[in-house]
Amino acid sequence: MSALPSARPQVVAHRGASHENAEHTLRAYVAALEAGAEALECDVRLTADGHLICVHDRDLRRTTNTRGRVSTMNLDDLSALDFAAWKNPWAELDDEAPERADVDLDRVLTLRRLLETVADAGRRVEIAIETKHPTRYGGLVEKRVVDMLRDFGWDRAGTPARVMSFSYTALQRVEHLAPEVPVVMLLDRAAYWPMLRRVIGPDWIVGPGIDELRAHPRLGRRITATGHDLHVWTVNTRADLELCCSLGVRAVITDRPAYLLDLLGA
């Protein structure tokens, strides 16, 4: 087994420590912090009554077994749902399955509560917030995100926060509202890079998926040659980590923060 190169990327917990825990629950984020994750990643959407919550899908079928769209529901309605039972649907039939203590850790998680958790971590922890598009609320999502960062004093230089999106327009909004907050242009198709390189800001970070880096071996070098840092998702294996280290990737977003930290420490 080859040794990892010396480049040391930041380890970012993708939706928390989501390999072992239900994604986007406070339980998953607490586990990531306990594992030593240096940053947390979340997706955000707006509820019908204007709250930013941490959730990936626009509807709730996958993570709550409940029909309904996030954008049409109020926070009180979402708070009554269990966002973790789907992770181990046979738990009630498994005598060896651990009991879930403090089920509040498995309820809907607001962005504000996650930011409070980051602020109270006792060490510097960064937060990567992905705004999801398309959405019926359009640019209101970015405005609410920036307003909340401003509440924490995280809208200025040195902020532990950054905003990510697959939407170029969304990141333009963030740059206009909070010029000192770093932004990450997510990239899920190598074919988009020739166009994006012409329009994104010189300080923007680029976030390609690990599958695209593997499928297009020259993509990573092409991006770094233009002076942009790389933040790569979703890096879950030693081989993936080795590839990222060889490219000088600055951050790896992973479902398995404890595992990657162990590899890097070794």
Query: Considering the domain boundaries, does residue 191 fall inside one?
Result: yes
Query: Considering the domain boundaries, does residue 220 fall inside one?
Result: yes
Query: Considering the domain boundaries, does residue 2 fall inside one?
Result: no
For the question of residue 56 being annotated catalytic, the response is: yes
Alpha carbon distance 45, 111 (integer Å): 9
For the question of residue 14 being annotated catalytic, the response is: yes
Look at the chain and report how many structural domains it folds into.
1
pLDDT band at residue 88 under the 50/70/90 scheme: confident
pLDDT on residue 34: 98
Local structure of residue 15 (DSSP, 8 states) = T
Q: Which of 19, 24, 51, 56 is catalytic?
A: 56
Query: Considering the domain boundaries, does residue 253 fall inside one?
Result: yes
Residue 93, pLDDT > 60, answer: no
Residue 103, pLDDT > 80, answer: no
Quick check: pTM over 0.75?
Answer: yes
Query: Considering the domain boundaries, does residue 4 fall inside one?
Result: no
| CATH number of the domain that residue 84 is part of | 3.20.20.190
Residue 176, pLDDT > 50, answer: yes
Share of the chain above pLDDT 70, in %: 92
Three-state secondary structure along 74-124? CHHHHHCCCCCHHHCCCHHHCCCCCCCCCHHHHCCCEHHHHHHHHHCCCCC
- What the block records as the tokens of 41 is 């990643």
pLDDT digits (tens, 9 = 90+) for 1-42: 455 655 699 999 999 999 999 999 999 999 999 999 999 999
Mean pLDDT of 145-168: 98
Alpha carbon distance 231, 54 (integer Å): 20
Alpha carbon distance 216, 263 (integer Å): 25
Query: Considering the domain boundaries, does residue 3 fall inside one?
Result: no
With contact defined as beta carbons under 8 Å apart, do 196 and 171 qualify? Answer: no
By residue range, what is the domain housing residue 112?
10-265
Burial class (CB in 10 A: 0-12, 13-18, 19+), 8: exposed
Query: Considering the domain boundaries, does residue 5 fall inside one?
Result: no
Query: Considering the domain boundaries, does residue 62 fall inside one?
Result: yes
Name the residue among 67, 68, 23, 91 with its Cα closest to residue 254.
23
Q: Which of 14, 51, 228, 231 is catalytic?
A: 14
